[in-house]
A and B are shown apart, each in its own frame.
Chain A
Amino acid sequence: MTIDLQQLKTEGLLAIKAAKDKLELANLEIKLLGRKNGELTNILKSLKDLAAEVKKEIGPLANEVKIILESAVAARHRELSASAWENAAAGERLDITEPALPHLDPGHLHPITQVGRDLEDFFAKLGFMVLDGPELESDYYNFSALNFAADHPARDIMDTFYIKGHDPAAPAGAGWLMRTHTSPMQVRALQKYGAPLAAIVPGKCFRNESTDARHEHTLYQIEGFMYDTDITFAHLKGILEAVAKHLYGPEVKMRFSPKFYPFVEPGVRGEVTCFLCKGRGCRVCKNSGWLEIFGAGMTHPNVLKAGGVDPAKYQGFAFGLGLSRLVMLKYGIEDVRLLESGNIKFLEQF
């Protein structure tokens, strides 16, 4: 009987291997392992007539042969499937250079949104809140609270859009205007949250300025500020350098020079080495090698006071990035007016 089993195994394996297609294999499987009349099944069936000792010897062997034959069938089945696919696949070839049809237009976010969001994410990681404020502002928050003198030129009707019935001649607090910068939120945020505070304010700003390729009356800024007991000018440099590197890579250099803003002291403008020419001078940087991208400074004590915060205890910095300008630089846009043009041919590029 042992010999029968060995023979069945050897011959079975050869036959399985030789099976030419799935049908032949299926018939073979029935012949060898079929539940009713399979050769191995018959041997197993005959076991019950044998003596217990012989059973003990033959039983495990028979099972082993069964498992070997079964897995051989399975393996041959896989082999036959694979070769069948190989033949079929040749006829199923696709021209993968064709686009997927029908064409799906994925939609586009405005470049201001994209660059702004990138910066918002960056600042959020540094622990800054993202705040929003009114675009139609009061004369108080836009100017007075930010330490602008009553006769500061920026208040001129030539530079600022005033609201009818609320022009600068209106009584204090009743002057309404389109905010000229995002800085009013410094005071609003301090009044609302107090110090310590770290926040950025992205938003739309307005200047009463004739438009041309380089000038817009509607532009976007990102304001940022940080106040605590020990925030210094060195920290301002640290943050802005981090922003510069985020925008233009680790090699970028940054420099400050003095600039007057009533709401900071000291006040600086910040330049970075031109990303295009790496500081050698090109058309984008007007051959200077530098691009002015922000204004900044240490917040003036009067601004902290207006925010209800004690300048003897708290200090900090504020900065403003020209978001529209960053967008223009990033994508090489030469005419700022395209940003607000609503031109689909422009918008669909982003």
Chain B
Amino acid sequence: MLISFNWLKQFVDLPDSVTAEEVAEKLKQSTVEVEKVERQGRSLDKIIIGKIIECARHPNADKLKICEVDVGAKLSIVCGGSNVAPGQWVAVAPIGASVVWHGQGEPVVLEKAIIRGVESQGMICAAEEIGLGSMFPKKDDKEILDVGTSVGNAYMRSLQPGTPLSNVLGLNDSILEIDNKSLSNRPDLWGHYGLAREVAALYNRDIKEYKTAVIQEGKDVKIKLNVESEIFCPKIMFVAVSGIKVGPSPEWLQRKLLAVGQKPINNIVDITNLLMFELGKPLHAFDARSLEFLPAGRQGNKNSLEINVRFAKDGEELVLLDGTKIKLSPEYGVIANHDRALSLAGIMGGEGSGINNDTTTIVFETAIFDAASIRKTSTRLGVRSDSSARFEKSLDPNLCEVSLARAVALTLELCPGAKVASKVVSLGKPRLPTGPINIPKNLFIQKLGFDVPLNEAIKILEHLGFTIKAGKKELSVRIPSWRATKDIAIAEDIVEEVVRIFGYDKIPSLLPPRSGALPLPDTLRVLENTVRAVLAGTLGYTETDNYSFVSRAQIEALGDDPNLYLELDNPLSKEKPFLRRHVVLNLLENVVKNIEFAEKLKMFEIGKVYIAEEPGVRAAASGSDLLPRQDVEMTSIFVEKKNEEPFWEAKRAAEAASSVLRLPWRYAPAETKPLHPWMHPTRSSWLTLGTDNTVVGTVFEFHPAVAAALGLESRAAIFALNLSVVDTLILETQKALVYKPLNPFPAVTRDLAFIVKQEITHAQIVSLLKNADPLITAVELFDVYSGSKLNHGYKSLAYHVTLESQAKTLAANEIGGAVKKAEHLLKQKFGAEIR
């Protein structure tokens, strides 16, 4: 929204020394966000008015003229303007002034120039060359700005040649651009008067009263008014004014509208727009002819009007002022005559019912419409206007009387022959919750931690329009109507009103007293960070972070069922509407994108997954509705081109995590439970924890066919943990770290190498060796070989076996005996061939 500083100052007396920039800064700190302040006529620096004395033909160019221009001194200027003529007042850019050539590009500083052999001491400007293109649209491409015709030649006669053009045009205003979003909860700030009230409070001044006269009603025209729903339209007023002569508005009005970016249209429409920008209250003007009551088959009576505020009929059509044709339905409110909708109530007028050049009788409408309905309608239909922007903020019903009285007064002023032709027809007397709110006098120190002096608080509130009655312990605060529609309702609101004007900077910064509650540990967070430390800190993985959304194609390539996935109702990307059930999907996509530039990738992500069919936390304070389960999942991926067994790297990560977390999860074989389709059938393992063998994670190689379907040619291995599930088992399963007394006697290591059948597992061998003799305390695999040197189906294994005793140093025969025992058992149980 644009705010004219001059307009604002009409309602509040500010010292001349107060600049627009200063006011903007104060408003920013206390009221709304001011995006910028722009001084009007900045582009008119050094541009002056001149009177053309003579135009002579250019000796070398047919379309150029040599003009002698009086700008106080006499200048000779070469000009190609199609309309340039002696006696004309024009805008002159002397040498040194800046102009924008043909209205395009950056401004350039004028220098003395020779044009086709004739010296030119400046330039006679077209409107767009000095930033006035929108104010004075051209009729002809080569036209220069005829200042006299544009401003009024009578007025020009009082001026001296050489006067700055900005003075002539009255461009001495500054325009504040306000961020509309910062106004969303302030219906009262959508016009100059409301903002002036804030400025008055900020400068400790009273705002000037907005004076209106009582409307002297007429009798000629009768208006019949029906309102279908008081909820949709809690208040509405109409009055007819006849004797209208539609024409351009006077200069002062046009200038005000132009200052705030509104194009002047005609006097009546301009009046409604003026009031919208002044009071923040949209009005609508109908041509009375469109409201004539026309009973079927009978002649209309121009003095009998019918207005219906109703919901649209299903399928009813309306062509809006901007030419869009819309189809209506009963949820939309319209203003209608006896048989058809004329305007979309509160949003936009319709074609054919507005003001035309031949309009002689008008009907002003001013109303309050339900904010939510207006917003819904304007959103659904995609029709937004200055009017709907205001109505959807919940406007003050009292503005109806004020705006109507002012509209009528202005009309009578601008159309000398006009007179009020009807009674003021009005329906609805909405009651506003204006309080009073009783607030204890110590409220400010209680909420702010700082005692705003009571007299200052009261003064601030009074400047903002609140009425205060001070009791012994309490203040009774009555809310002004313009703040009562939704903005102010409770004591805390009053605290805000006071503190924002008083100044947030005056409140001290204090550290709070130590809270009475001890913080509880967040075990899940600790778990996340420990896993991060292992993966990124120890193993050199890189953490990534992805959107939670995945595509149907991704899910299907994974071999999963899209029906299991939660789906967004309104996804931004139609491609990725589904909520991930596995972190791995987008992680794999990361790998596919990055592998092109890398030999090896080690990445992981920690994030939530969304499981539709399992219950999570509750959806409301009461009732049994539960949200879908949302566990935190860690997934790491290892890919190395030409590494055909990346499984071991994933397992390495799992082992490191297991060790650091002191969680002795078991590696259950693939067959333990049905594999996901994206898991390698013979290179997958489930990680289980606890007495119930709860699955907490997986280590697997990606199924090569599925990986290929997802665009990955290399083998990939995954280590994934459901951290939320691990978190629930951590108390039960985490191994306590207990110190073991150091053995004073040395341990001995012997290597055992043997050949066994492939199906004998490492786990079986470890179990056998550890139980072979009490002297064996540790067994560590250090080599595996299965290749052409061995018979098919056999593998060679080599272990370090540690032997020790807590009682003595072992003798050679004791060590030999234990190793023999182990070898014997290996032969006996597994048919091992000792090497």
Contacts and interface: CB of A to CB of B under 8 A. Distances in A.
B509 A140 contact: no
A136 B542 CA distance: 27
A301 B569 contact: no
Nearest to B495: A266
B504 A193 contact: no
Nearest to A193: B517
Interface in B508-538: 508-520, 522, 524-525, 529, 532, 535-538
B372 interface: yes
Contact of A232 (B449, B541, B569, B603): B449
B441 to A, nearest CB: 16
Given A265-B492, A345-B597, A128 B519 contact: yes
Contacts of B545: 110, 112, 339-340, 342
Q: Which of A105, A131, A257, A340 has the most CB atoms of chain B within a 10 A radius of its CB?
A: A257
Contact of B522 (A132, A149, A173, A301): A132
Given A344-B542, A344-B597, A157 B505 contact: no
A228 B516 CA distance: 8
Contacts of B598: 344
Contact of A257 (B28, B490, B520, B571): B28
Contacts of A242: 511
Contacts of A343: 590, 593-594
B510 A235 contact: yes
A234 B509 contact: yes
Contacts of B548: 135, 178, 204, 206, 218
A151 B541 contact: no
Contacts of A158: 379
A196 interface: yes
Contact of A129 (B519, B627, B632): B519
A239 B571 CA distance: 38
B529 A266 contact: no
A270 to B, nearest CB: 9
A105 B540 contact: yes
Given A117-B529, A134-B630, A151 B28 contact: no
A306 B608 contact: no
Interface in A330-350: 339-340, 342-345, 347-348
Contacts of A130: 519, 522, 525
Contacts of A167: 569-570
Interface in A156-188: 156-158, 161-167, 172-174, 176, 178, 187-188
B760 interface: no
A138 B622 CA distance: 13
Given A109-B532, A132-B522, A342 B586 contact: yes
B531 to A, nearest CB: 11
A127 interface: yes
A232 B511 CA distance: 10
Contacts, number: 262
Contacts of A193: 517, 520
B297 to A, nearest CB: 44
Nearest to B30: A258
B511 A134 contact: no
B540 A342 contact: no
A300 B547 contact: no
Interface stretch (B16-24, B261-269, B349-357, B612-620): B612-620
Contacts of A268: 504
A258 B566 contact: no
A96 interface: no
B446 interface: yes
Contact of B547 (A113, A129, A218): A218
Contacts of B539: 107
Nearest to A308: B621
Contacts of B379: 156, 158
Interface in A35-51: none
Interface in B425-463: 446-450
Nearest to B520: A129
B184 interface: yes
Given A134-B616, A265-B496, A344-B601, A226 B512 contact: yes
A258 B493 CA distance: 12
Q: Which of B610, B619, B623, B630 has the most CB atoms of chain A within a 10 A radius of its CB?
A: B619
Given A232-B448, A232-B449, A265-B490, A137 B627 contact: yes
B579 interface: yes
- SS of A interface (majority): mixed
Contacts of B630: 134-136
A134 B182 CA distance: 29
A108 interface: yes
Contacts of B496: 258, 265-267
A68 interface: no
B447 A315 contact: yes
Contacts of A166: 569
A300 B492 CA distance: 8
Interface in B601-657: 601-603, 607-608, 610, 616-617, 619-621, 623, 625, 627-628, 630, 632
A2 interface: no
Interface in A281-329: 298, 300-301, 306, 308, 315
A176 B589 contact: no
Given A197-B517, A228-B516, A107 B509 contact: no
A145 interface: yes
A107 B542 CA distance: 5
Nearest to B519: A129
B569 A113 contact: no
Q: Which of B371, B568, B589 has the most CB atoms of chain A within a 10 A radius of its CB?
A: B568
Interface string B471-493: 00000000000000010001011
Given A127-B519, A255-B29, A267-B496, A204 B603 contact: no
B619 A131 contact: no
Interface string A85-111: 000000000000000000011111110
A256 interface: yes
Given A163-B567, A173-B623, A258-B496, A132 B544 contact: no
21 contacts: A105-B540, A112-B545, A130-B522, A132-B522, A135-B548, A164-B567, A199-B519, A218-B547, A218-B548, A226-B515, A232-B447, A233-B450, A239-B512, A257-B500, A257-B504, A258-B500, A308-B621, A342-B589, A342-B603, A345-B597, A347-B542
Interface of A: 104-110, 112-113, 117, 120, 124, 127-138, 140-141, 145, 149-151, 153, 156-158, 161-167, 172-174, 176, 178, 187-188, 191, 193, 196-199, 204, 206, 208-211, 217-218, 226, 228, 230-235, 237-239, 241-242, 255-260, 265-268, 298, 300-301, 306, 308, 315, 339-340, 342-345, 347-348
The 7 closest A-B pairs by CB, nearest first: A234-B449, A232-B449, A342-B590, A266-B496, A107-B536, A151-B372, A138-B619
Interface of B: 28-31, 33, 182, 184-186, 371-372, 375-376, 379, 446-450, 486, 490, 492-493, 495-496, 499-500, 504-505, 507-520, 522, 524-525, 529, 532, 535-548, 566-572, 579, 586-587, 589-590, 593-594, 597-598, 601-603, 607-608, 610, 616-617, 619-621, 623, 625, 627-628, 630, 632
